[in-house]
Amino acid sequence: GAGVSQTPSNKVTEKGKYVELRCDPISGHTALYWYRQSLGQGPEFLIYFQGTGAADDSGLPNDRFFAVRPEGSVSTLKIQRTERGDSAVYLCASSLSSYNEQFFGPGTRLTVL
Amino acid sequence: AQSVTQPDIHITVSEGASLELRCNYSYGATPYLFWYVQSPGQGLQLLLKYFSGDTLVQGIKGFEAEFKRSQSSFNLRKPSVHWSDAAEYFCAVGSLTGNNRKLIWGLGTSLAVNP
């Protein structure tokens, strides 16, 4: 597939558990972004990678949230000690470079019970 | 403060009618502006973008938008709406300065199309 893919599409977990959300960007795209979208809201920026490094992580809400992109391609968003307020759709986007428009994946719907 | 306002939460139009979705922004740096569409169960799809140059930009699916710096607006228009245009529309603003690449989003406008 040519687009951004995200797995899983749905994740249900219990409060306090650890989750990992995966993003496969478009091949060749150097920039990768994570957002989350709550019901009835626009996306909210979390973190942006240029290559392997996090260029801007100012949107991560607290230290329970962490993201990596070790080889400059696939990225994993990690959430520790999940809380019910973490329930949202987590969106990943990529762009050819950080000067180009962002292409979004379908998202992972996270539900914390 | 950086923000995007989409004043209309929900709009209903008849098929074949014209459409204008409003977007106003507040942004300290040179704004780069986007309109995305989100259909149920689908990812966000870019309709069009404004980086520089001609302030009237054309996008996909027959959409266009006009950047008006004096009014801090970037309204989306379509001359004749099709039933398949029913979706959620988001306006976003971003920057290309420094390491700031985050997009600031509006709350969205939900478009319904009557047959």
Model confidence band, residue A101 (pLDDT cutoffs 50, 70, 90): confident
Name beta bridge partners: A108.
Answer: A90
Q: Quick check: A55 and B99 CB within 8 A?
A: yes
- The closest CB to that of A48, out of B4, B46, B102, belongs to B102
Residue A85, helix vs strand vs coil: helix
pLDDT tops 70 at residue B7: yes
Instruction: List phi, psi (to 5°) of B60.
Output: -80, 165
Calpha distance A1→A19 (Å, rounded):
25
| Mean per-residue pLDDT, B82-88 | 96
pLDDT given for residue A1 in this prediction: 53
What tens digit of pLDDT does each residue of B37-47 get? 998 877 899 99
Q: Quick check: A43 and B103 CB within 8 A?
A: yes
Percent of all residues in chain B with a pLDDT value above 70, rounded to a whole number:
98
pLDDT given for residue B110 in this prediction: 96
Contacts of residue B70, defined as CB under 8 A and 6 or more positions apart, other chains included, come to none
Name beta bridge partners: B14.
Answer: B114
| Mean per-residue pLDDT, B26-32 | 85
What tens digit of pLDDT does each residue of A7-28 get? 999 999 999 999 999 999 999 9
pLDDT tops 90 at residue B91: yes
What tens digit of pLDDT does each residue of A17-73 get? 999 999 999 999 999 999 999 988 999 999 999 999 998 999 999 999 999 999 999
List the single best residue of A5, A48, A102 to mutate versus B (max B Cβ within 10 A): A102
DSSP letter at B79?
A: S
- Pairing relationship of beta strands A5-7 and B64-68 according to DSSP bridges: unpaired
Longest dimension (CA), chain B: 47
Calpha distance A35→B1 (Å, rounded):
19
What tens digit of pLDDT does each residue of A65-97 get? 999 999 999 999 999 999 999 999 999 999 998
What tens digit of pLDDT does each residue of B67-81 get? 999 999 999 999 999
| Mean per-residue pLDDT, B8-15 | 96
Provide the shortest C-alpha distance from residue A105 to chain B (in Å). Answer: 6
pLDDT tops 80 at residue B99: no
